[in-house]
A and B are shown apart, each in its own frame.
Chain A
């Protein structure tokens, strides 16, 4: 196979100057202006010219290599910080971080609750040696054990935090994922987006993947052989799926995922609610759900 031939690039632009053959004009602008020049490179097609440091030092008229390193590092740090800030401030990132927080909170609450319950049962058992009480619901004020009392208080606080977090997720999802939220609920939509690694990723996923997002271990067990394929992942949390009879769940989650895949694309590219699409989707999902 013949070697691909590089286009001989006579002139090119870069952050430190304009190079034209052997001639070079240094660019003397601020870091912000230099960053613009770097970003404009994204539009370049074909060969991407990259000079050696000797060429850069000569062109930009730096005293030595060390000066060049410190200049380019300053520019790179500026651009990296700017890019990170832009990402961290986007509603999409806010949504994803809060979804992860909620997932962890649920785990923490379940853990604290189960351990506190355990201690409460033991405490009651020691107060009334026989028989074991049916109910362990002692009011907080009557709890004599300081650990159990503090534990119960903490659970209340954690549940309040969870409510605040879930409300915020709901609000953000309504803005970031208007169509997905209407289809499968704000929280499920937000979880799907987070599992996909962002809205742009979710908008590019096939519906078959969306259907089993969050069912990772089950999917790998299937691929490695033996296990049956998972029918649903996060989508199961939507009432349309989990309220359905077991036999129908696969069918419903497939129909729902197919519409969510389209909704994600509308959310990503248009970002506004599409009532026509939503009523059509409801009709289609209802038809498939009602079948048989």
Chain B
């Protein structure tokens, strides 16, 4: 246990350079690379004084190293600046905080779909190795990964939204007045907490298609991961031993083996988090889902430089903290199974 504590400390410390590199990368892309953020932000033909004023207010008229210092300093204080447009002077951090729950809700629901579909099918493929089902599922893994996630969403909208009319094709809720009282910001959770059943039904209906889209997109990777992990576990002695004890095949595969295969999958869940975020940006745009990804894309069209910078930084922090979290989780489970 002493070494576990040490490991956690080291791992946490190692996150700092990673965050530093990511944050610096954002700075380089948005400030150092060719392309003037203000020129990009302002509509052509704006008076020079206005441009200068904005440059000054963003500190862009200072030397790069000063800008970099101020940028880091502000980040240390969680100060992400204020918006330029469509409304000037709003707190970027606040805007991001408002959009965050939608992304979180979508991601969690999608992960649920991924876990059920990906892990279930992957285990099945490993169990029936070299069968037709196995080859089909491996092909599924490749095909689903080759389908653009937003197109998958569009097809769902077309079939289930437009043709069949079963599900709403956009948004999180039918109207803002129908939204449940704000507690966590997750509509489904909030409506359960407030016993607001109409809102629960409404928000679940809105959630199904985006969650399926993003979840199926990620499931391909998980089918493959689970399959290869399961194949390794199924070769282990304890599986043979369990069979030799007369334990039914199903129990051996889906209880004993799968449980053991799941542990490395938890780590890979962390590695796939980046894929999840990228997929979320596209899924949110497809379904007009008011989350961080859609916020980012919307602000790009408004050329709202501080919001773009702030959102990208927040994504970077999310990636770094999830990877830390997953490693801690793994280390916590690890000593129990390693001997």
A and B physically associate = no
Interface residue ranges, A against B (CB under 8 Å): none
Interface residue ranges, B against A (CB under 8 Å): none
